[in-house]
C-alpha cells in the first residue's frame, strides 16, 4: 500500500509538471501576445471562407509557415519571412499544415493579388499552371447560359472556358477567395522592416 501511494504521488507530480510545461506556460506566453500593427481581424466573409478552407482540407497540401532563410529557400520562392507567433493571434485553430504538396499560402494574397486569378485557379488549376496536380473545385461554381445581375463571372483562358454559357462563382467560392486574399503577412514584425510584396505573376497561360 505504501509503494502504491508513492507511485500515485510520483505519477501525479510528473503529470502536473508535464501539463505546466506543455500547456500552462505556452498558454501564458501566447495569451499575452498583441497582434502586429499590420494584422487585422478576419471579416465575417473571411471567417466563412476559412471554414470552407478547413472543410476542403486545404491544409493537407498547403502550409502557412515559411521557414527561416537559414533552413530553407522559402524566401527565395517568394513565400515571405518566417512567421512569428503573433501572426496567428486571430487564428482559431491555427492552420499551419504539415505537408507541401502545393506551395505555402502564408502570403498567397501578396503573390497572387487578383481575385479573378484566385477564382479561376480554384475552378481549373491547370489553366494557370499546366503541371499542377491540385484538384479542381468546380463544385464551388456553376455554369449558366447567362449571368444574372449579381453574379460573379469567372474569367478563364479561352481554352478552359465552357463552350456554352459562363462560369459563375457560388458563395462558398467567393468566401474561400476572400479568406485567401486575407493571407498577406508582408507587414513588419519585431522592429524589422516590412518585406516587399513578391512580383505579380497572375498572368494566365493560354
Taking only the tens place, the pLDDT of each residue in 66-125 is 999 989 999 999 999 999 999 999 999 999 998 999 999 999 999 999 999 999 999 999
- Of 137, 184, 201, residue with least CA distance to 36: 184
**What's the CA gap between 143 and 165, in Å, rounded?**
6
Per the DSSP assignment, residues forming a β-bridge with 166 are 144
Residues making up the chain, counted from first to last: 206
The answer to whether the CB of 176 falls within 8 A of the CB of 52 is: yes
**What's the CA gap between 200 and 114, in Å, rounded?**
9
DSSP letter assigned to residue 141: E
The answer to whether the CB of 180 falls within 8 A of the CB of 108 is: yes
Question: What cell was used for 146?
Answer: 447567362
Taking only the tens place, the pLDDT of each residue in 187-197 is 988 755 455 55
The answer to whether the CB of 66 falls within 8 A of the CB of 75 is: yes
Question: What cell was used for 75?
Answer: 524566401
Q: Specify the pTM.
A: 0.81
For 181, residues 6+ apart whose C-beta sits below 8 A from its C-beta are 109, 113, 115, 118
| Rounded average pLDDT over 142-171 | 94
The CATH class of 44-180 is mainly alpha
In this structure, is the dihedral angle defined by the CA atoms of residues 170, 176, 179 and 180, taken in order, positive or negative? Answer: negative
For 6, residues 6+ apart whose C-beta sits below 8 A from its C-beta are none
Residue 13 has pLDDT above 90, yes or no: no
Amino acid at each position: 500500500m505504501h509503494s502504491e501511494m508513492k507511485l500515485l504521488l510520483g505519477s501525479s507530480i510528473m503529470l502536473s509538471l508535464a501539463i505546466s510545461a506543455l500547456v500552462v506556460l505556452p498558454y501564458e506566453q501566447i495569451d499575452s501576445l498583441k497582434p502586429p500593427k499590420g494584422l487585422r481581424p478576419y471579416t465575417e466573409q473571411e471567417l466563412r471562407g476559412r471554414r470552407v478552407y478547413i472543410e476542403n482540407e486545404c491544409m493537407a497540401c498547403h502550409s502557412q509557415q515559411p521557414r527561416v532563410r537559414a533552413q530553407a529557400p522559402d524566401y527565395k520562392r517568394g513565400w515571405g519571412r518566417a512567421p512569428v507567433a503573433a501572426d496567428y493571434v486571430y487564428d482559431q485553430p491555427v492552420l499551419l499544415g504539415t505537408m507541401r504538396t502545393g506551395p505555402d499560402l502564408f502570403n498567397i494574397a501578396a503573390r497572387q493579388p487578383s481575385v479573378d486569378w484566385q477564382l479561376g485557379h480554384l475552378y481549373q488549376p491547370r489553366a494557370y499552371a499546366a503541371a499542377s496536380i491540385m484538384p479542381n473545385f468546380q463544385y464551388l461554381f456553376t455554369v449558366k447560359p447567362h449571368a444574372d445581375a449579381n453574379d460573379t463571372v469567372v474569367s478563364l483562358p479561352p481554352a478552359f472556358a465552357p463552350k456554352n454559357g459562363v462560369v459563375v462563382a457560388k458563395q462558398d467560392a467567393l468566401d474561400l477567395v476572400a479568406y485567401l486574399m486575407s493571407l498577406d503577412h508582408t507587414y513588419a514584425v519585431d522592429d524589422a522592416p516590412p518585406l516587399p510584396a513578391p512580383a505579380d505573376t497572375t498572368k494566365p497561360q493560354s
